[in-house]
Amino acid sequence: MNNHTSTDFTMEYRFKATREQVFGAFSNAEALNEWWGPVEMRNSVISLDFRPGGIFHFKMEGQGQVNYGRFLFRDIQPPHLLEFTNAFADEQARVVKAPFDMPFPLEVLYRITLREEGEETILSLTGSPLEASREETASFLAINGSMQEGFGGTFGQLAIYLHKTNSI
């Protein structure tokens, strides 16, 4: 079933791990400290309330910058579905504008599905701007390549974490 629109960001990543192991890395603060976030930043979990309506609040430090982000979980169906809004945030997890010089959606809705294929788990990610202006949506689409690279690096860190912790 493919109901993506032209404003969606999509990507897939394959892990040599079970679906439960991949899903579990999203639900554990210690795990998230190891792998979540931009590769060039030091990322740390401030709080994790892993339930629908709960918030994952994190800090990103590097390159002379300190930024905060947050997920607001919408739907969690272990071990195959995770849906959340993602936004830049302040120290209290309130949504703030993106820290770069372009119009950008305040929030992006992400949907992650996990399926097993042989000995691999395939993560499918879809992202859509929420309540965004035409300019914000255009900016979101314009950085698709950067987002592919960024999420690819993040999921590469997850693959290393899974290999290290599961000895796969």
Domain membership of residue 144 (yes or no) is yes
- As a whole number of angstroms, the distance between CA 163 and CA 47 comes to 25
pLDDT at 128 over 70: yes
Higher-pLDDT residue of 166, 85: 85
- Tell me if 22 sits within 8 A of 123, measured CB to CB: yes
Please state the domain count of the chain: 1
Residue 166 pLDDT: 82
Average pLDDT over residues 102-122: 97
pLDDT band at 1 (very low <50, low <70, confident <90, very high): very low
Instruction: Give me the residue label for tokens 């931009």.
Output: 38
Domain membership of residue 54 (yes or no) is no
Domain membership of residue 118 (yes or no) is yes
> 141 lies in which domain range?
9-40+77-87+97-166
CATH of the domain at 116: 3.30.530.20
- As a whole number of angstroms, the distance between CA 118 and CA 98 comes to 39
Q: How many CB atoms neighbour CB 87 within 10 A?
A: 22
Q: What is the pLDDT of residues 26-59, one digit of tens each?
A: 999 999 999 999 999 999 999 999 999 999 999 9
Domain membership of residue 58 (yes or no) is no
pLDDT band at 138 (very low <50, low <70, confident <90, very high): very high
Domain membership of residue 60 (yes or no) is no
- Tell me if 90 sits within 8 A of 96, measured CB to CB: yes
Residue 115 pLDDT: 98
Which two three-digit tokens encode residue 66? 């300190």
Residue 74 pLDDT: 98
Domain membership of residue 83 (yes or no) is yes
Rounded to two decimals, what is the model's pTM? 0.93
- The count of residues in the chain is 168
